[in-house]
Structure 1
Amino acid sequence: MKPVLSVITIVYNNVRDIERTMLSVLDQTYEAIEYIVVDGASNDGTLEIIKRYETRIAKLISEKDKGIYDAMNKGLALATGDYVIFMNSGDEFYATDTVANVFATASDADIYYGETEMVNDGRESLGQRRHKAPKEFTWRGFNYGMSISHQAIYIRRALTEPYDPKYQLSADIDWIIRAAKKAKKIVKVDGYVAKYLVGGMSKAKHKQSLLERFDIMKRHYGFIPTVLNHAVIAFNLGWYWLRNRRTND
């Protein structure tokens, strides 16, 4: 029997991108999908687009929330599938057979993950994320940054807990680490599994995002290791910037 995947889409006033995200879910060749859409009481036409596909959505709620992770917790509470993944407005599954390929890779894993392709507002490919998905992943694997994006990770729902509301921008890192700590079997899927729309709140509020990430890593990895790891992160960022600057010059 095929495992059921709960796909959760969070959206607020994103009339431009919501349909593309929804169709990437609804057009999957994999049939055992429970699609959940959580709208934050959009007033720009987003809800009207969502309702065009209402008969194909398992659960839809549209109401004000306290932020993205509050909305994501609402989606999690509604999910009944064996696995859960977030495909938020603007992001997409990489291809129509992505979910089928993920579950065909191996049976009964606690976590499946793959690579993410970045795209810009014009849906043009920007290539692979700077943080390449590791060949092997454990909960310790985020000590140098978020190497797997949330739209490229499928987690057994029984391992998930609510997102911590004290974090406004980086709770997804903490959420994945907590689930990965409980996981026994983690499987990497070859190739791209998702498209990620570059931008978002964490880019706009970079300092707050970094402070939250430091606090999360300190909790999971300890203070001294986190300070040392951040020194490595800063060096790697500087080297990445210099290398790309030379390439572009």
Structure 2
Amino acid sequence: MPIINTAIHLKDLPVPPPEKTGWPWTEGTECLPDLMPDGRKWPRISIVTPSYNYGQFIEETIRSVLLQGYPNLEYIIIDGGSTDNTVEIIQKYENYLTYWVSELDEGQTDAINKGYLYCTGDIFAWINADDAYTKSALQMVSKYYLKGYTFIAGSSLTLYVDGSTGIVNSVPCDFGRYLKFWIYCALPQVSVFVAKKISDNCFPLDKSLYYLMDYQFFLRVLSQRPKSAYTNEIWSKFRFHGKNKTGGYNSEGMEEFYQVALAESKKLPPIRRQIFAMYVKDFVVLHPLILNRLSLTPKEIIQALKLRPTIGQWTIFWKMLFKSIINLAK
């Protein structure tokens, strides 16, 4: 039987590779007692990892989940039939997992959907196979949940390939603001936790989504007006290794924004929905202008205004036009 509801100690896990030191390799987390001070069980936290050919990263992910010192944890890994060493690594830790499988699927979103079916906890999150939690992250999340919060968003440390780092803090937002994807509302997915009674109303996610399943998920969560907590506590490490989907969406990524935003905007009142649809259509025209603003002539920008007069309500349009005129005069 898989070991569940038991905080795992460093000595319980397989010995890490000799070149690996520090958290979560040679350092663990002090475990919480089996029960809370009032004798109740700690809230159960269900974590899902979708995985495919990330054998170079997934062991750190697994250990960072298992070594949280958290007594009521479910950990599910759904692998899409990896052909590298991913399955071998998962098998090293299978006695500590609630469930895992390696089989062909229809992509990351499909894997998250499949993993969610095995979640029975009070709190839900997913962590990708190239990310990791920081020490005691789940212990801190549970404390927010016990205060009544049902949407809990922390911060994330970004690790870049050149060795530099950055921090992404969660920005407080509501459904209407987050819906406007052209306004950057940071929600580092790996550091966001949701009460399962809320997330139950969000699944299944659209498995055709390649980039923006987290955007769809958070919109569905925020539409329920959860009691939200935002903190600058760093609960995760996001590794930017150059092959991530996150960052600089191509035209297909922008199409997903339009698709998801318009679909989820149906939760708005009718008039607001129509206004939002107009904004989205405006941005379809504005986005290529923004990308190419340094090379566009005033004539080209004005031509876009003729095609879509409502883009004239956007301040950024006039800024681009004035800058193009100044550049032409130089």
Change (3 A) 1:116 1:140: farther
CA contact (8 A) 2:170 2:232 kept: no
CA RMSD of aligned residues (A): 2.5
TM-score for both structures, normalised by structure 2: 0.64
Residues 38-95 of structure 1, C-alpha deviation per residue, up to 9 Å, x if partnerless? Answer: 11111211101111111110111111101110111111111111111111111011x2
**Which AA in structure 2 matches 1:179?**
V
Unpaired runs of at least 5, structure 2: 1-39, 266-275, 291-315, 320-330
* TM superposition shift of 1:228: 6.2
1:182 counterpart = 2:219: no
CA contact (8 A) 1:8 1:36 kept: yes
* TM superposition shift of 1:167: 2.1
1:21 counterpart = 2:65: no
Change (3 A) 1:229 1:82: farther
Aligned twin of 2:253: 209
CA contact (8 A) 1:6 1:81 kept: yes
Aligned twin of 1:103: 142
State the distance in 1 between where 2:229 and 2:52 align.
32
Unpaired runs of at least 5, structure 1: 239-249
1:54 counterpart = 2:94: yes
1:154 counterpart = 2:193: yes
SS at match of 1:78: coil
Residues 161-197 of structure 1, C-alpha deviation per residue, up to 9 Å, x if partnerless? Answer: 2111232221220111102211431111332121112
CA contact (8 A) 1:164 1:175 kept: no
SS at match of 2:156: strand
Aligned twin of 2:106: 66
Higher alpha-carbon deviation: 188-197 or 109-118: 188-197
Aligned twin of 1:193: 235
State the distance in 2 between where 1:228 and 1:152 align.
32
State the distance in 2 between where 1:76 and 1:125 align.
34
Change (3 A) 1:174 1:180: same
Change (3 A) 1:147 1:204: closer
* TM superposition shift of 1:203: 4.6
* TM superposition shift of 1:227: 5.2
State the distance in 1 between where 2:69 and 2:164 align.
23
Aligned twin of 2:177: 141
State the distance in 1 between where 2:250 and 2:234 align.
26
Aligned twin of 2:72: 32
Pick the aligned partner of 2:212 from 162, 166, 170.
170
SS at match of 2:216: helix
SS at match of 2:117: helix
TM-score for both structures, normalised by structure 1: 0.83
CA contact (8 A) 1:162 1:175 kept: no
State the distance in 2 between where 1:196 and 1:149 align.
9
CA contact (8 A) 2:106 2:207 kept: no
SS at match of 2:148: coil
Larger radius of gyration: 2
CA contact (8 A) 2:211 2:245 kept: yes
Pick the aligned partner of 2:263 from 211, 219, 222.
219
**Which AA in structure 1 matches 2:229?**
V
Identity over aligned pairs, percent: 23
Residues 137-170 of structure 1, C-alpha deviation per residue, up to 9 Å, x if partnerless? Answer: 3223322245202211101122222111232221
SS at match of 1:15: coil
Q: Which has the higher strand share?
A: 1
CA contact (8 A) 2:45 2:123 kept: yes
Aligned twin of 1:242: none
State the distance in 1 between where 2:129 and 2:89 align.
12
